[in-house]
Every structure is written in C-alpha cells, then in structure tokens.
Chains A and B, each alone.
Chain A
Amino acid sequence: MEILEEKPSKQILLLGNEAITRGALEAGIDVATTYPGTPSSEIADTFSNIAKYFTKQKKDPSFYFEYSTNEKVALEVAAAASFSGLRVLTCMKHVGLNVASDAFMTYMYVGCKGGHIIVSADDPSCHSSQNEQDNRYFALFGNAPMLEPSTPEEAKEMTRIGFEISEQLKLPLLLRTTTRLNHTRAPITTKKLQKPLGKGHFEKDPMLVTLPSVARAQHPILLDKMKEAEGISEKSPFNKIITVGKPGEWGIVTSGVSFNYVREAAEDLKLNIRILKLGMTHPLPRKMCENFIKSCKNIIIIEELEPILENQFKTIAYDIKSDVKIFGKSTGHFSRLYEYTPDIVTEVLSKIFKVKNPFIKPSNTDVKLPSRPPSLCPGCPHRATYYAVKKAAPKTTIYPTDIGCYTLGKAPPYEVADVLLCMGSNAGTACGLAIATDQKIVSFMGDSTFFHAGIPPIIDAVHHNHDVVVTILDNRTTAMTGHQPHPGTDFDGMGRPAKRILVEDVVKGCGVEHIEIVDPNKIKETTEAFKRALNFKGTSVVVSKSPCILLANRDKIQQGDKIPIYTIDQEKCQRCKTCIGKFACPALYYGEDGSIMIDEQQCNGCGNCADVCPFKAIHVKEDKK
C-alpha cells in the first residue's frame, strides 16, 4: 500500500483525508475511531483498509480502529484510550460533532493524556449534508485548540504536529477541515512512520471524575491551558505572513482553503499585498495579529461561512485602539453562505482594488439541460420497499425520513420523505406527528442509522403507545458513505469477524409488539406486511431486509455468479407505464417512438420491474458483461 511508504522524503499523491491518516501514522497513532460521514469518511476508511490489509496477512496492524456506533461513542472510546496514555484520533463530519458534543464539552475540562486529534469535516455548500454549520465555533465554545489546513500536505503535517501540541497542552485538538480539503488530492512528502506505544496504563485520578467540585476546579485550569496555547500559536509555523508583489498598506487575513484562492487571485490581479495565513486559528496568535493590524491601513478578512476571524480581529483592533478598516462579511464584500471559489474571491478583490478581473465572463448555454440529481441506484431494494408502502398506505400518510441513501425517496414518483432533521429523527418526529395529527405515519431509517440514533425514539414510541409505523431499511451496510460495516454486520472495521446484532432482536427488546420482517423484493408480501402494520394500533416496526445491490452484485462477481440484464418484450408491452412511471427505475427509458426500454448500461438485474409488470412483458435478456 502506497500510504504505508516507509521511506522519508517520498512524494505520494493523497486525498486530504488520506493525508490525515498518514499524518497520524507518522505520529504513531494507537487508536482511531469514527462514525462515517461525508466528507470525513475516507480518513477512517483508510485506517480500515490498512488494518484489513494487515489482518489478511495475519500481521498486527499496530493500531486499533473501529467504526463506532455513533460519534459520541467514538469520542468516548478514544478519550479513554488517551487517558491511558495512547495517541488517538476521532474523525467525523461536522454534524457528527453535535452528537459527540456532550462528551466534547466536558472532555475539555478533563483534558487528555496521550495526544488526541478530533477531526471535524465541515461541508460549506452542503454537498452531502443537512446544514453548513461552522464548527470553528466548537473550538471557541469548548476551548479546544484548533488547526485549519489549506492543502493535503498541511493536513498531514498538522495532524502529525497536532499530537505534540495536544500532549503539551493536555488538551484534545480540533483539526477543522472542509469538503474541498477532504476531497482534494495532492502530493504529500513522507516522513518516517512512527511505532505506536501499543498498550497504555490507566492511572486513577480523582480529577477525571467531573463532579461539580471537580468541574469548578478544572475550568480555571482549562483557561490557563488556553493561555499557554496562545503562546504555541504565536510561535507556530502554521501562522505566517506571505507577501505578494510589494508590501503595502493592505493586508489579507485568511485560513483554510480560502488561502489557496487568495494567493492565486493576488498573483492574477498583480496586487501588492501581505497575506496573514492562519493555520492555528484557535487561540489566535494575539501578538502576531496585533502587529499585523498595526502594520496595515486596510485589512480584508477572507474566510468561508461565519465571520469568526473577522469578529476576533475587530475585537483586537478595538482593544489596541487601531483605526484599521476591516473589509469582510459585515461590509457586504463576502458572504456567510456556501463554499468560496476562485471566481468569487478574484471578483471581490478586483472590485476592492479597482483592477480588471482577468477571467472572462462564463459561457452560458441556452439549451435547457435536464437536471441530473442523484437517485436510488437501479436495483436498490429501497425502491421496492417504497413501491410496496405506496400501495399499502393511504394518500394522506406522512413519511418522516432520515440520513442515508433512502432520503432520495423524496424524488417523484415516490415522494416518501416529508420531514428530516438529523440522524434518527425519523422516529422522533413520527411520535410528534402521531400526537399532533390523525394522519397515518410511516417513517424510514437505515440499519446503520437505527443503531446510531434510532433506538431511543422507538423506545419513546413504545412507552407512550404512539400510533406509528417505523421502517428499518436493513441493507446490511452504511451505503451512502461508502459501505462501511456497522453493528448489524458480521465483520468489523479491522476486517475481523464481529458479533452481528440483529435489528429485529433490538426492536423486540424495545418492547415493540408488532414486528414485520420482509424481503422487499417480494413486493406483494411486503405490501401486505405494511397493510398489517398500518392497521395495528400502536407502535409497529417493519424491518425490510435486502442487501445493497452494489454489494450484492460485487459479491456475485467475486463468486463468479452472473448478473442478469432484463429486457422488455415490445410485443407484450401494453405501455401501461407501471414500470417506468410508478416503479421508476432509472434504467428504464422512453425510446424515440414512445416504447419503453431498459438501458443495459444501468440495469443491475434485480428483476423487480418484471415483478411489477402486469403483462409479464419483462424478462432476462442476457448476463451482464
């Protein structure tokens, strides 16, 4: 594996996320934990792939890795390993830190022993997320030191050096990334891989038990640590001034990926400017910032999302009685919305400096292009479940949904997604809707989501006898984020056999009295099961079990089994449109003469279209090549 390159000073091409994993290996990581979430997933997947690579050869991977049940568990597992002196890393997407925040906030009071990097992968523009919250606030909120990389190389180095900072301060460190960094691939320069400790030792310490008296004693200690952290920030090589052209009265303050756009824009616009590039953004290097403010007449702050640097710079300017003019979000030059791009940064700077933007006005086509939103894959078992539900449920039924591929059921013709807040919210909102309305409620969540946050609301439903149907779409994987295992799979993130926990067993244990277990590919039986569940007064659960088609087909190919491709017998087809209009598999399309066809590039061979065809016009054509 290239990522395990032993030789130092080698250039290898890594994804930002892989670079973080490499940085942890160069720092001698002992324990890594996560709950998968885009854009963070490949950090953990890389640990998993390395562990599996060694496990396969019956060798010791030298670190422990797990896909934890949720982000809070992931943080707790790693924190305890840190208390025992080991170097640990926990990674998650930005909203994952909301789940972990209960542990996170008090963890800062207690502090760590072995270095602990907590990676938050933020998602400006909501590429794959339900919000674009700026998790830099968590560093300010919890008093965590924070590093923000601009490139994969920096991500690796910040991870490696971050462990040292974390250990020096005895504080977990927040490595705050954004999608554009996580999913940028660039060369990194290797440093030596470090051997981890292997085993630690837990020394009992009354200060680890956060009774009110302990918490009161720990809080001032935490504030002292932040003072010390400010000293580290002042000397950090990650905070630096870069001059483009000749130094003048103008300065730019920036961090993260925005720096990349700023540097190129400054060169392209031929500006004379000094750029204060901040890599350690909490706590800020106060003296360095003061001196920068004093050396400028005008400062432009360029940061995606919230005006966090901007507000702090204004505070510092006020404190030192500077009359520097600060441009940024409050002056309307930059937006608090969405990801920045080279276009945005270049355009704003060209306006501020009154120079011509060298980029041409973007071409625009008048041809109306059909949208290509993501959709459930051809052969996805969720589609069969949705088809059955729509047959069984009355029109006014409300469909709370959840985070996963199945959210895509929002699209027509299914439209089985009416409410979504966060992981597990389907069942919680189902309860509220049952209280507030007389409508039928069928909610959906995946198996991984069920284990993550779906169990407490089911208990709430049962205990209060809410009249809801909760559906668990059990496709035996965490599909959307890249097919990671979870407690319902019989192997773990290290590729070792693991105890499989059955969804239906847990549901039974929660006291649910009406449980239906179905194979959604048997559409008629599934429809009947939903009818029974809807007729049951009280909480019922439907467990719809069928593996993700992508995994099922991968296994078939590996075992040498054939995947069939279906075709439509045009003689038998009556163009009733049941397949294309109601079942709506994306592999179906209208031919030029209005006939209905199957695109063999897309067909995954599930055969459900053949089942729903009232005229038996669909059959296997050949095996996929």
Chain B
Amino acid sequence: MTWWLLTFSRGGPASYLSHLDTARAVQRTFARAGVPIALSHGMRPKPRLSLPLPLPVGAAGCEELAVVEVPDGLPGPAAALRELRAAAPPGLRPLAIIVVGDQHPRPQALEARYACLLEGDAGAVQAAVERYATEVSVVRERVSPKGRRTLDLKEYVVHAAAEPVPGGTRLSFAIRHRDDGAARPQEFIDLIATWAEVEPVMRGLERMRVTWRDLPPGPSPGAERSVST
C-alpha cells in the first residue's frame, strides 16, 4: 500500500459541507475517477481516507489536506490528479498529490491562518482587535457533548488584525494547534463580535494557509512545510 497526501481547495457550494460530508465528497471523487482507495480490514471495511484538520461548515479552504491509502501499482499521481479533477464536484478542486511511504509520519497541523468579513462598525471591530492584543488572558468556556472545557484564547489565537473593506471589516488571525488542541475560529470571531457589539454573523470565512509538521516537499506550490526527519 502507498499513502498519498492530496491537497485540495474547498470553496463555493462545497464550503457549506460538514467535515464528514467533505470526506464523503473526496471519497466519492476518487470512486468516480476510478482511483481506488484501500479498505480497512474487518467485517465492515471502510476506505482508508482521513482529513486531518476539519474545516468549519461555511468556511472555504485554500489548501486542505486529505491522507489517502491507495493500493500499489496504480498509475502515477499526475494521471490520477487529472482524473480526480475531472471527477470532482463544483467547489472542490484537487491541487496536488504527494506520494509518501507507508512509514512516514502523518502530517500534523501547527498553525492555520483564517480571514473573514464581519459586518458592522469597522472602528469597533478594530478596537476589539486592539483590545485583544493588550489582554494577557482571554478565557472562554466551551460546551460540547463531551462536557465543559475552559481555554485561554490568547494561547491559541495570534496575529489578529482588522482592516476596513467595502461591506464591513476583514478580520484575519492565526490559530496555533498544540498537543492539547486548538481554539475554534468561531470562538475568536464571537469574542471580537461581542466586544465590538456587532452581529456575530460573518461571511467568507476562509482558511488561507495551514502550516504542517511532517508534510514532505511535493509539487504543490504555496504551502509552508516543516518536515521532521
């Protein structure tokens, strides 16, 4: 078996897919392209495909990553990429395939950069971002089916900036991924919206770039990589 790292962009209508639906769309694209995915063992075999960094519903992603195990002996990745592009649904575009050995560590996200458009008073949003920069600690509680958890956004969200643009304010920031997890983009957006007293409804959330640990060099330009040896 061989592991492929497929980079792809998600935009347009595909932005509104959930993580599981995105994974299903990638899997379906492989099936339509006639590129087989290896199956897990057991009574109910599942395709060996994973998207290591879920993208929020409603967000576009400029360079997402899918880790796929394929059987040996397939045609080269260039031919497969052509077929995948032809088979993909609107808004989902395969960008590149990096072939890695089956012993290679799985890539792990280090930092992801986001941007979105917030409606409302641009000055207030800018003031909220400046306030965030001066705060030492911004603790928020996260409630999920797994229970309650507190996290300090300052430990995760960095490089926050606000810039007036037609229709609102462009808010950009980066989220660091640590061993204990990461903040969610919406948590930071909600914080800024609350402080700025604007509607927490944002448009055009976009993950522009992800920095990965253990992503080997490949044919895809524009991605930052940090390869551990």
Is the A/B pair a real complex? no
A: residues with CB less than 8 A from B are none
